[in-house]
Structures are given as C-alpha cells and as structure tokens.
Amino acid sequence: MLDIKRVDLATIDPQQRRALTTRSAVPDPGVLATAALITTDVRERGDAAVIEYNSRFGGGARSGHLIVSEEDIAAAYREASPGLIAALESAIATIRVVHAQQRPTDRTVEPIDGVTIARRWAPLDRVGVYVPGGGAAYPSSLLMGAVPAQVAGVGEIAVACPAAAHGSIDPGVLTACHLLGITEVYATGGAQAIGALAYGTESIPRVDKIVGPGGAWVTAAKLAVFGAVGIDLPAGPSEAIVLVDDSVDPQIAAADLVCQAEHGPDSIVALVALDHTTADAVLAAATEQTYDLRRADIITKALETHGFIAIAPGIEEAIGFTNEWGAEHVSVLTRSARDVAAALTRAGSVFVGEWTPESAGDYATGANHVLPTGGLAASYGPLATEDFGSWRQVQELTRAGLERLAPTIGTLASHEGLTAHAACVDIRFASKPLEELL
C-alpha cells in the first residue's frame, strides 16, 4: 500500500495547517542565484555561453548548432504517424476555438462630459515559447503556448526546446511546429535558453515575452530576466487536489491522483475526503493502478514524498481547505459537483464530475494547461489569449472637460507639492483664452 501522509482537518492545529498549505512556485535561493548568473553570462557572451551550458547540462543538438533547420522540422512531420498528426490537429482546433473567445475587446468610457478614456489592446510583436524536453516530450505544451499566441495575432513566435540525449528535439514537438507553421526553433533548454530569449544572441533574436512551463532552473531564470522581458508566471512542480465524498468511484479518484503524480517526483498531489473509509478505498485503488504504469517509480515517489490525504469533517470544510490550498488542478468528484465547483475560487483549472479527467484538459478540451502553481492560483489564472498582448490607455479631453477637472487637479497637486502639475493645466487656459476660441 502507498504510504501517504494523512491529516485530520478537524484536529490539526493552526501552525500545522499553515505548514501544509504554505508553499511557493519560486525555487530555492541557490537555484535562483545560479540561474541569474547563467542568464547574465548569456547576455554577455551570447551563443558561446548558450552552447557551453548546453554541453555542460544537456539539451543541445548533437551538432552543437542552436538553430533547428526548416528541413529538420519538415522531415519530422513527414515521418510522423497519421495518428499523432490527427491528434495534434484535433488539439490545435479545439485550442483555437477556446482561445478565440478570449481575445480582448477595446472599450471607451466618458466618465464626465468632455473626458474620454479608451482602453485598447494590441498583440505583442514577438514571443518566445519554452517547451520542456530532454528526458520527456511535451508537444502539448508547445500547442498551449503557440496557438493562443497565433490567435492573439503575435507577429513572430520563437520556440526553445532542449534536445534529448540522442541530440535531437522530440519529433512530436517538431511535427507540431510544422502544423502551426512555426519555423523558428532552437535546440536549447534550461536557464541558458531563457537568457537567450530574453537578451538575444547572435543566433536567437530577443523576444518581448517568454511563456511556457519548465523545471526549477527555467522558473528561476524567468524570474531573473523579468523586467528585461515579460513572463507568463513562475510555475513550480505540477500539483492537484482530488476532492471527493462517499459517492465517489474510488477507481476514478485514484486515476486522477496518479495522473498528476506522473508528471514528476516533485509533483504535489492530495486527496481531500470526508471520511477515512473513502480515503482508504481511493488509496488502495491508487496503489493497485500504480503497479503496471511505466512511471510507477516517479508516481510512488511523488505521492509518498509530497502527497497527502486530508480528512475534512464536512463538505464546507473540504471546500474551504481546497480554496486555502489553491491548487493548480482540482478534480471535483462529489454529489452536486457543479455546486461544489462553483464554490472553488482559488484553483488554476477545475474538473467537474466523473467524466472530466484532468488529462482531458492537458491535451484535448482546448482549455490551457499552463496554470499557476505554488499557491499562485489565488492571484493568477491560466495562460490565455490576453497574455499575448498589452493594453494602453488613450485619454482625450475637451476644453470644457479640463475645466471640470481643473479644481480636482489643482487641489491634489497642491497637496502633494507638485506645482508643475497644476501649472500644466493653468497654462492652457492662460495661453488660449475662451474669447480666442469663439
């Protein structure tokens, strides 16, 4: 039987509860410091630094070149199985449909007569999409970054992905690039890839914003370059809560637990149940399911090292704890699952009912799977179309409008000691008396 920590929310003391719910997507200080040094070195030495770090840490192409040729991208597509191509095409189509509804709409308001404030959105010129690779392949993560960027109207999309041990980027990732018409692909990963995208090198032009998930080094590097370039959000290890009551099918709840634990040994996966009998049944099913899976060792380590079972005295307490924890994924497998889901206010993505597995959201529903972790679901949402553009305010006043605002401007400017602020209003009326305008 899997050996997973268990806590009783009815008896746990406040300090233990804080320890259970407090975490961060930000890597430890040592990783942050080293990643910052790597990105600075890339800024100063360009390609040479990227290639050096690729050789030291892995992720570079066998040839040592950073640029993946268009012919290699096309060749991967030609050699891909029809099944993979069909699956990618289906995922692309649904992601486009979902994200097309997210494109922002310009708005204009006139708060008082003679004052017009517009809010206008425009796509970014150039975006870098980081795709995890090396030991695993994630073409789905490429789709989640690149398709919304295309929907937004981003002019240029650059993809950075580490090569595997054999020296090539996963063919599935390259096939997805071909299907999306993306020809700018670089074989590099880790902090050096983030530094290259942020600052630019001889081979890799800088971007306006970097999006996409990655491990601790990628997250630390994104934080290091933030300010020089935009980022989506710092994202830590995958995490999930499966919220159940005694109506749950233990096999389904167990499958949802195991599904997210499969991402990595540092994944944080929790079961929130209303009684020990239900929790025991789910745990037994998870133990049995894990035996036959390819990544059984990873799943076991994740669940036993970072996972936990929380027993709540009632559904309201279970919802409250789930909101307090603020998970990346929350699966709701309870009676009145829609009502329970509606009460969840701090979660990256909520999966409602037994027919909504988390893997559907990872691959096929069109919802984005780049989600906040480490408790950031309290203040961030999923990657979306609007993240690939920027807003600007456009303000226009008439003379009458400025006259109406002049007392407010003058009083506040005087209070703050900013006399030039008041003067830039007064001078307009002094230089253009009303009689000159008649």
The answer to whether 140 and 107 are in contact (CB under 8 A) is no
The answer to whether 396 and 116 are in contact (CB under 8 A) is yes
Type and span of the H or E element at 6: strand 5-8
Can you say whether the dihedral through the CA atoms of 235, 391, 123, 191 is positive or negative? Answer: negative
Give, as one character, the DSSP assignment of residue 377.
G
Give yes or no: 306 in active site: no
What does the block give as tokens for 119?
A: 């809010």
Helices (H), 343-418: 358-363, 399-415
What does the block give as tokens for 347?
A: 């979660």
What does the block give as tokens for 219?
A: 């997250």
Phi, psi of 240 (to 5 degrees): -155, 150
Among residues 353, 270, 257, which one has the least CA distance to residue 306? 270
Longest dimension (CA), the chain: 89
Q: Report the alpha-carbon distance of residue 7 to residue 256 in Å, rounded.
A: 20
Which of 184, 239, 328, 358 is flagged as catalytic?
Answer: 328
Among residues 285, 274, 368, 275, which one has the least CA distance to residue 329? 368
Q: In angstroms, how far is the first alpha carbon of the chain from the final one? A: 89
Which of 99, 178, 306, 329 is flagged as catalytic?
Answer: 329
What does the block give as tokens for 401?
A: 């409008």
Among residues 179, 227, 229, 223, which one has the least CA distance to residue 204? 229
Type and span of the H or E element at 272: strand 268-273
Give yes or no: 415 in active site: no
The answer to whether 369 and 101 are in contact (CB under 8 A) is no
Active centre residues (catalytic): 328-329
